[in-house]
Amino acid sequence: MTGTLTLGIDTSTVVCVGLARGGEALARGTVEDTHAHVEQVMPLVRRLLADQGVGVADLGRIAVGVGPGPFTGLRVGVVGACVLGEALGIDVRGVCSLDVLAAQVVAGGAPDRFVVATDARRHELYWASYDAFGRRTGGPFVTAPGDVAPLAVFGPGAGLYDLPGPRGADLGPLDASVLACVAWDLDDAGLEPLYLRRPDADVPTARKSALPRPRLNPAAARP
């Protein structure tokens, strides 16, 4: 098989890694632990490459899902892809992770209009709407389940809540080999993670004094 060897990485939900060459999917792997992104992403990359009899030096480009997703997990995949791309001197392309799931829906036969949703926690969903060709028509958003568009819903978030539209297939975790195949056919999302939420930790707007408060002398306060 000839063509560019492409690595796909997505940590918008669980840890997903995949390989493709010349537009053909070769292998994929997942670690379905939402709290082990740091520990698992690079070992999974190495295992997948070793299983295919290749090394990191054989990679020609890297595709990474930039979310939407939670802060820490999402950052691990994006930073890992960027560092690896910089070290190897190869192109890194970021795409919306929901767009990749939409491509998976289209490959299996999509309705005229549909929604892809993933778990945003806090009783909310990340979601976007698409046409039958997998072109995004709205979003991405983070909302309460009741605010999702009333269309057929696909993706890992499809079965989590009662939704306005009918439930489609949950698809399982994102297929990172599909990500590696289609990233250059999708809109370039840049390499800034799509958090969609403000961080929980806010920068203080006023300085707090580190000096002790002066002690009031009750006698001095009397007229």
- The parent domain of residue 81 ranges over 5-97+174-185
Which of 170, 169, 168, 119 has its CA nearest to residue 145?
Answer: 119
Q: Which residues pair with 126 in a beta bridge?
A: 118, 142
Q: Is 223 a residue whose pLDDT tops 60?
A: no
Looking at the structure, tell me whether residues 15 and 75 fall in a common domain: yes
Looking at the structure, tell me whether residues 16 and 93 fall in a common domain: yes
pTM metric for this prediction: 0.87
Looking at the structure, tell me whether residues 128 and 178 fall in a common domain: no
Hey, is 171 helix, strand or coil? coil
Q: Quick one: pLDDT at residue 214?
A: 58
Q: Quick one: pLDDT at residue 50?
A: 97
Count of domains for the chain: 2
Query: What is the H or E stretch that residue 94 is in?
Result: strand 91-95
CATH number of the CATH domain containing 45? 3.30.420.40
pLDDT in tens, 104-139: 999 999 999 999 999 999 999 999 999 999 999 999
Which of 24, 19, 22, 23 has its CA nearest to residue 3?
Answer: 22
Looking at the structure, tell me whether residues 88 and 180 fall in a common domain: yes
Q: Is residue 208 in some structural domain?
A: no
Q: Is residue 191 in some structural domain?
A: no
